[in-house]
């Protein structure tokens, strides 16, 4: 079950955006999410008391973005355990809620393993639930630390690739504090550049059809006082042609062993544009997003979303008429092609930046070495 608590007015806006938090009120533990579908109009918290409410929040993109999905999945297992639900069943539905971001299944697995190990040892359900929660909290904390290291590493790479500073960076989708225990992935690098006075402009792709760029990245850029400009996705070509983009920074939902990168649909066309215009195309993601079990781009399952996300627009307070609850912008019955992600081949990626370091050029061997190194730490 999920409840909604609206926070109206500027006074209640948190200075830090808590995308997710665990609470233990007397009625029992809950997972509190910032409902990202309502931003930037209002900050509304979604309170989940069970895994099925969290699955719904994941599918509707109230909680989203690869690293945060991992954290949410882990807390979801902890929630099921703490509330006495069947943990294996909850873990299975959570892991399958969205297919592309590898972090979701990974986060779920981590909390479930901690739960299993403690239960096997002590036979105590409460201790096992606590172990799952500890695992989720650790993952949350590790993600914050990884985010800070990615920002550092990404900034160093920008300095190397673009000596002289004054970067004009194009980004796609949303990769900031809303998707992370810290300040995010690609956005964290842009933010680091901003803080040292090296960001001249952040070009923000609106990111059709669900507008994560317009609604969320612009929101985060504004909150951080960054110089940013919003553009429609299809304006990117003319921006490159005008010589206005120095680098592209994006996140990733899954990186295959060969270095193919699945990220929000529209990333691949940016990579093609970047190559044509000799602009670095940089992917920033935690090492956990590299999936050694996915050999190549063709093996990545790309989530297909409902057509109404394309054939309708949803505006708060507008009359609701379409099948998806939005205003139709195409004739009724129009079929839509709506993949949530696309896959960029490694040869178009200048560098992959992780908390363990960067690989450039992107090869299967270099990625495998980076993963092996990170497992040793």
Question: Residues marked as binding for substrate?
Answer: 64-66, 98, 212, 263-264
Binding to ligand MRU (CB under 6 A): which residues in 85-144? 101
Binding-site residue ranges: 64-66, 98, 212, 263-264
309 touches ligand MRU by CB under 6 A: no
DSSP characters over 158-188? HHHHSTT--EEEEE-S--SGGGSSSS-SHHH
73 touches ligand MRU by CB under 6 A: no
DSSP run (H or E) holding 333? none
Q: Which of 253, 258, 309, 355 binds ligand MRU (CB under 6 A)?
A: 253
Q: Select the span of 221-229, 250-258, 274-282, 344-352 touching ligand MRU (CB under 6 A).
A: 250-258
Least distance from C-beta 198 to ligand MRU, angstroms?
Answer: 21
The number of residues that bind ligand MRU (CB under 6 A) is: 18
Least distance from C-beta 212 to ligand MRU, angstroms?
Answer: 5
Is position 342 annotated as part of the catalytic site? no
DSSP run (H or E) holding 66? helix 66-82
CA separation, residue 35 to residues 97, 119, 336 (Å): 17, 33, 26
66 touches ligand MRU by CB under 6 A: yes
CA proximity to 46, closest of 77, 90, 4, 89: 4
61 touches ligand MRU by CB under 6 A: yes
340 touches ligand MRU by CB under 6 A: yes
Alpha-carbon dihedral 136, 137, 141, 146, rounded to 10 degrees: -10
- Report H helices in 242-342: 267-276, 308-311
Q: Select the span of 59-67, 106-114, 191-199, 322-330 touching ligand MRU (CB under 6 A).
A: 59-67
Q: Select the span of 62-70, 105-113, 197-205, 330-338 touching ligand MRU (CB under 6 A).
A: 62-70
Handedness of CA 183, 343, 168, 159 (dihedral sign): positive
Binding to ligand MRU (CB under 6 A): which residues in 172-211? 173, 175, 179, 184-185
C-beta separation of 76 from 31 below 8 A: yes
Least distance from C-beta 124 to ligand MRU, angstroms?
Answer: 36
Question: Which residue's entry shows tokens 């004009």?
Answer: 168
Helix, strand, coil percentages (3-state) for the chain, rounded to 5, are 45, 20, 35
The strand ranges marked E within 103-227 are 167-171, 199-205
Binding site for ligand MRU (CB under 6 A): 61, 64-67, 101, 173, 175, 179, 184-185, 212, 251-253, 263-264, 340
Catalytic positions: 253
């Amino acid at each position: 079950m999920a409840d909604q608590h609206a926070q109206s007015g500027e006074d209640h806006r948190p200075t830090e955006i808590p995308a997710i938090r665990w609470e233990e009120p007397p009625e029992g533990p809950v997972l509190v999410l910032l409902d990202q579908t309502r931003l930037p109009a209002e900050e509304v918290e979604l309170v989940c008391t069970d895994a099925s409410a969290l699955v719904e929040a994941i599918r509707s993109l109230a909680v989203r973005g690869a690293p945060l999905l991992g954290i949410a999945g882990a807390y979801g297992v902890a929630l099921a355990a703490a509330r006495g639900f069947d943990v294996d069943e909850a873990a299975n539905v959570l892991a399958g809620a969205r297919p592309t971001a590898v972090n979701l299944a990974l986060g779920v697995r981590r909390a479930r393993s901690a739960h299993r190990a403690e239960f096997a040892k002590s036979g105590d359900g409460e201790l096992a639930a606590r172990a799952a929660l500890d695992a989720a909290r650790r993952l949350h904390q590790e993600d914050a630390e990884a985010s800070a290291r990615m920002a550092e590493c990404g900034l160093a790479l920008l300095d190397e690739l673009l000596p002289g500073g004054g970067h004009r960076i194009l980004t796609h989708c949303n990769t900031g504090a809303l998707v992370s225990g810290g300040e995010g992935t690609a956005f964290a690098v842009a933010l680091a550049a901003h803080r040292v006075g090296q960001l001249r402009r952040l070009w923000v792709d609106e990111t059709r059809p669900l507008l994560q760029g317009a609604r969320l990245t612009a929101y985060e850029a504004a909150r951080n006082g960054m110089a940013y400009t919003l553009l429609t996705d299809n304006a990117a070509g003319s921006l490159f042609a005008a010589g206005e983009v120095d680098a592209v920074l994006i996140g990733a939902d899954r990186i295959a062993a060969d270095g193919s990168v699945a990220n929000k649909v529209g990333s691949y066309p940016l990579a093609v544009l970047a190559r044509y215009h000799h602009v670095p195309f940089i992917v920033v993601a935690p090492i956990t997003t590299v999936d050694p079990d996915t050999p190549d781009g063709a093996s990545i399952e790309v989530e297909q979303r409902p057509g109404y996300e394309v054939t309708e627009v949803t505006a708060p307070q507008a009359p609701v008429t379409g099948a998806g609850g939005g205003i139709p912008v195409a004739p009724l019955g129009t079929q839509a092609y709506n993949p949530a992600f696309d896959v960029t081949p490694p040869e178009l990626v200048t560098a992959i930046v992780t908390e363990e370091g960067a690989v450039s050029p992107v090869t299967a061997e270099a990625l495998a070495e980076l993963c092996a190194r990170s497992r040793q730490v």
